[in-house]
Chain A
Amino acid sequence: MGELERINQGNFDQKIQLLEGVVLKDSKSSPIRTFTVKHTQYAQVIEVNSQEAVTNEASRMITRIQVTTYIAPVNNRWRLNWEGNSYDVISAAQIQRTPFMKLEAIKIFK
């Protein structure tokens, strides 16, 4: 049996918004994705930045964050807002036998 991870909500010093993605159809019946805020909660956020090579030899910083917070029915169709930026959730996993979950999300550049 694996060792249990100890989470302390004293580290939840950031406020995040969790947004659910819903696909709707516009007047021309084209699908559009909209996001509505479902939860606003405290979380621990760790920034994991890395360089990613892109075309024409330039490099761009992608910002990935790891979020620990209370469980909510989040999946990779959700987004989260943190410090005025939007992030796409790429993975969500509950921490076993605890009321917490871990999310990984990537910043959306507009």
Chain B
Amino acid sequence: MNLPRQSPRTARANVLLVALIILGLSGMTAASTLFLVGQLNRQVARKQAWNECLVVSESGIEDGMSHLNQVGLKGLNSNDWTEDNGTFRLTRQLRNNRYSVSIVTNQPITMTSTGYVTAPYMTDQYIERVVQVIVTNVSGVFYGLVAKNQITLGGGTLVDSFDSTDPNLSTGGQYDSAKRRDKAKVASTSQGTDVITGTSNGSIYGHIGTGPGATINIGNYSIGSETWVDGSNPGVEDGYYTDDVNLYIPEIEEPFNSGYLVPGGETIDGEYYNYVLHDGNYQLSSLNMQASQKMLITGDAVLYVTGDISLTGSSSIIVASGANFNLYTSGSNVSLAGDGVINKTGSAQNFSLWGLPSTSLVKYAGAADFIGTIYAPQADFAQTGSADIYGALVAENIKLGGQGAMHYDEGIDKDAGGANYIINSWREI
């Protein structure tokens, strides 16, 4: 059978048509695939920019925290920051990105940072993310009782807290048992066994903490909130013991090595004092006070004792009203017995004992209540006698063996100006 033959010209046209259809389909497929890949690329770029924006925004918070901790609330209008009706602002460019951060100093202190990142494939549009934090002022290195190793509590020890800077939480800046708080912290960074031990009945109004995996042996101690402890509940209230203590406890360095005075005796108001310290820096090779010898501090004084310190008999160190005394020592032994340290300011912020790394033992057995702070991170601290402690302690090991109580002053360092601000709450808005 013969069929009518198409002309060669028509056949060539059919081939061309089929080829064009194939090419068209292939092109459409390739175009749609490229379009989808392009969309994926845009999606990835936008996600990267979105995540980058959070980093930029948090950079603003870091900048604000650094500024606040460096200059404190009173110096915020500095370092390129500007004030606008009580709000302090800064905008900083980071290559193509930027952040604007503001600090509102009304309580609670609020810091808000907006990060701007250039939107992908755009030149004049930005992705924005806003982070807001609430900042609080906390004590720098003092939390209550802090040890790098063991804490031993005995003799029915009472540990609680008050705030000398808040009239609602103290009376005239002094501890008042009617206004006590449950904010004391008894903490050890150790991860060992029986890191905190309580050898008999006792009370801790607040939290205890250890390093991860450590164990405690607190006997019949009652530890927790005011309600828990006042209700004579034995043991630790839920949530008042954690094993996540993670503190940096820096070593103390020499306060100075030149330009100091040597303290001498003086008669003041008809009474002779073996050492009198006014405003200034003083240094002694050792301090041994016996019988009724006395040291009087009348101004803002720093005394650096390069040897041991010993108070016996009825000797005493007297911090006069309005005075401020920082006692540094690099001696291995510090023994404060006799009448002890009589801090007439009544404020723990006005007397501090700083132990350099060579200080290995600090004992307090003075007759007077100890009002102050002790920071000797390489030393064993031991308290005997019946004097109470008002302030805070940091040591290698802490042993409270006397009849006295420990009242942690939450107000320590609060007004020190800077270096103590931390983020209390973080949210993205």
Task: State yes or no: do A and B come from one complex.
Answer: no
